[in-house]
Amino acid sequence: MEAVAVLVFALLVISQMASPVSALSLNYYDQTCPKLESAVTEAVKKATMNDNTVPAALLRMHFHDCFIRGCDASVLLASKGTNQAEKDGPPNISLHAFYVIDNAKKAVEALCPGVVSCADILALAARDAVALSGGPTWDVPKGRKDGRISKASETRQLPPPTFNISQLKQSFSKRGLSLEDLVALSGGHTLGFAHCSSFQNRIHSFNATLDVDPTLNPSFGNSLRSVCPAHNKVKNAGATMDSSATTFDNVYYKLLLQGKSLFTSDQALLSTGKTMNLVSKFASSQKMFEKAFVKSMIKMSSISGGQEIRLDCKVVR
């Protein structure tokens, strides 16, 4: 769930994004596609066995989908003609593992053609990604529809890693998400990898007088600078989001309290009493973090979205 891009045109789709989908239900497909969840889990499990970066990719993909026009699988649509789709927007260029959703969709279509939305498959895959990484599992409310509109320009609404707490609060609030949701969902950074460009602002030319962000642990900052020099030319250079980047745990919060976070937006969680207390709570108890994370994931994944069921996740019907 690496945060990237700039939130500029946030008001464009607020009316669509701030309200939960009223039709969601835990047993939505019980009669029409009873083997749905096992088919999705199998696709995610198979991919993860071959590539341990898949869970982080799927979790981030779901987050990026829900923050633009709601959870409608618009992030999966391919660019067509003159229209650049979300997946080709600057913050989404590094998204990967779309093939996992395509494979899950094919398996589900073989079981129950034309019944299950790509948006529901992505929500289930994100849940499975967390569970297969050692994190919690939960019952996913289902019944989302797929969207028809996908614009790269709208990815500017995604909160970038340079946001301060006020900007983060505004971004999440416009989607009906609270400060607790912000801190809990930031825990998704326990999985994955960040490119140098996402935290370059903290380790080079931080301000007029300091080269490095003084809130960074000095030795940690030096290690980042060695991996990401000022004029880095290595395309895939970067750092893991925490020291156990393929395991879903609360190490992210523990490192945050030690000055060992990557993003400005991570460090921002320590800038208010309320958010700092939540960070401390989650750092001290993985159980409390997992409970809050599940609650916030269900809330975020219920942001309203599309209108149809796509037979191919890359193409509108």
204 is in an annotated binding site: no
Give the residue from 300, 211, 223, 230 showing the smallest Cα distance to 262.
223
82 is in an annotated binding site: no
Cα–Cα dist 37/29, whole Å: 10
Cα–Cα dist 142/140, whole Å: 6
242 is in an annotated binding site: yes
308 is in an annotated binding site: no
113 is in an annotated binding site: no
297 phi and psi, to 5 degrees?
-65, -45
Extract the tokens encoding 225.
Answer: 């600078």
Please measure the distance between the N-terminal and C-terminal CA atoms of the chain and give it in whole angstroms. Answer: 29
Cα–Cα dist 51/24, whole Å: 32
Cα–Cα dist 24/6, whole Å: 30
96 is in an annotated binding site: no
65 is in an annotated binding site: yes
Known catalytic residue at 64: yes
189 is in an annotated binding site: yes
CB 225 within 8 A of CB 204: yes
Q: Of all residues in the chain, what percent are helix, strand and coil, respectively (each to 5)?
A: 50, 5, 45
Contacts 24+ apart (CB under 8 A), 166-173: 167/7, 168/265, 168/268, 170/7, 170/10, 171/7, 171/10, 171/67
Cα–Cα dist 199/185, whole Å: 19
176 is in an annotated binding site: no
Active-site annotation holder among 62, 64, 195, 204 = 64
CB 206 within 8 A of CB 212: yes
Cα–Cα dist 79/88, whole Å: 7
What residues contact residue 199 under an 8 Å CB cut-off, 6+ apart? 161, 224, 228, 239, 262, 263, 264
Binding-site annotation, residues for heme b: 189
Binding-site annotation, residues for Ca(2+): 65, 70, 72, 74, 86, 190, 242, 249
Task: Give me the active site residues, please.
Answer: 64
Binding-site annotation, residues for substrate: 159
Binding-site annotation, residues: 65, 70, 72, 74, 86, 159, 189-190, 242, 249
